[in-house]
């Protein structure tokens, strides 16, 4: 089993970070994914508050991966698992939000997965960097959103 574990801190409030996380339509704006594939997604909330069981399909390059939401604790935790992913198997991830004393947010994003023999040497380093960039993008964009409020 492989793991990644990243933590970033943002001056944005947990409320703003949370709104971005639960709304799959925002992910291509702040993350490394290119687009939300609505034809392969299901259960998305039209109001942007995707619930447990929703499958969010994200396209990155030519690859589409699906993530099923498995747990939500308002402004605290979003967890998901792979619904379909050509490169990862038994993938589970958690995004935990913790308020800071200065009204900001600590974003802790971590997961575990298995991969095939061909990717087992490359994927751990690649995914650690990819997820670090995802968390950093979320933190930066949340700060921009807070400034416009």
* 45-62 residue pLDDT tens: 999 999 999 999 999 999
Query: What's the pLDDT tens digit per position in 49-102?
Result: 999 999 999 999 999 999 999 999 999 999 999 999 888 899 999 999 999 999
Please report which confidence band the pLDDT of residue 138 belongs to, taking 50, 70 and 90 as the band edges: very high
The total number of structural domains that make up the chain:
1
Distance CA 129, CA 98 (A): 22
pLDDT cut 90: percent of the chain above it? 87
Residue numbers of the domain that contains 80: 2-147
CATH number, domain containing residue 105:
3.30.530.20
């Amino acid at each position: 089993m492989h793991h990644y574990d990243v933590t970033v801190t943002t001056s944005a409030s947990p409320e703003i970070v949370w709104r971005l996380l639960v709304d799959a339509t925002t992910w291509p704006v702040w993350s490394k994914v290119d687009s939300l594939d609505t034809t392969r997604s299901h259960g998305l909330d039209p109001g942007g508050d995707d619930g447990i069981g929703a499958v969010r399909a994200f396209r990155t390059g030519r690859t589409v991966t699906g993530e099923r939401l498995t747990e939500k604790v308002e402004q605290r935790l979003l967890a998901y698992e792979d619904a379909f992913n050509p490169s990862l198997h038994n993938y589970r991830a958690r995004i935990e939000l913790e308020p800071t004393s200065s009204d900001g947010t600590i974003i802790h994003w971590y997961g575990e997965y298995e991969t095939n023999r061909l990717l087992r040497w490359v994927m751990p380093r690649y995914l650690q960097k990819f997820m670090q960039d995802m968390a950093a993008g979320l933190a930066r964009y949340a700060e921009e959103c807070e400034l416009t409020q």
